[in-house]
Amino acid sequence: MDKTIRILIFAAIVGLTGAYAYADEVSECMPPGEHWKTIRSEYFTIYCHPGVKISKVEKKVKYSDYIFGEYFCSRDNLSVEEKLAAKVNYIMLKVKKILNMNPEKMHLNLVIFSNQRQLRRAVSEKGAEKSNNSVVSCYIHNKETIYTTQKDISRNVLVHEIAHAVCDHYFIILPPPNIKEVLSQYVEMHFEE
């Protein structure tokens, strides 16, 4: 296994020492609602709508190679919450590495809704990417939050939106949207190299 990959995996595991916890607290970044599940890690606070099955979400964030899946996620002693937290931490580290951008003090919210209806209701049309006239997933910088759904989440969706977040934190003067889009697509293309 490549040395850099080992370092990234180690860093992702260390990122878990922030531990995860269920909480009823509601952040201002998401719609009010009780019983949202909260998973905390070094780089993310993940908020799951009560209708979201975390085991399903964790499985949908897959790797087609063996970088992470074989080495780490197949370990039985980790909960699905720990696996999900480790995966998103790992994606963050690798996105930063591909972009060669390492903005300091970056901690994002990841809000996972059950369905598109909830997401559309919560996310204003302004600032959200659109696909076929509907918001699939998006990153909104002034809330430092990625919004997605159980149905839409995937490794690539997270890679793409995290790349947007890294760029928005890195540049003092933000590049035009089309340039940021190209950067996110570049990271998606090279993620498994």
Contact residues toward Zn ion (CB under 5 A) are 181, 184
Closest residue to Zn ion, based on beta-carbon distance: 184
Report the nearest approach of Zn ion to the CB of residue 94 (Å): 17
Cα 135 to Cα 138: distance, rounded to the nearest angstrom:
7
Question: Strands of 44-48's sheet, edge to edge?
Answer: 37-40, 44-48, 108-113, 145-149, 138-140
Residue number with CB closer to Zn ion (118 or 184): 184
Please name which of 109, 110, 133 lies closest in space to residue 120, comparing C-alpha atoms. Answer: 133
Q: Among candidates 173, 166, 132, which has minimal Cα distance to 146?
A: 166
- How far is 15 from 23, CA to CA, in rounded Å? 19
Identity of the residue, 8 or 146, whose beta carbon is nearer to Zn ion in the bound complex: 146
- To Zn ion, the closest distance from the beta carbon of 168 in angstroms equals 11
Give the nearer residue to Zn ion in terms of CB position, either 144 or 181.
Answer: 181
Least spacing, CB of residue 163 vs Zn ion, in Å:
8
Nearer to Zn ion, 79 or 134 (CB): 134
Least Å from the CB of residue 177 to Zn ion: 8
**Residue 115 is which amino acid?**
N
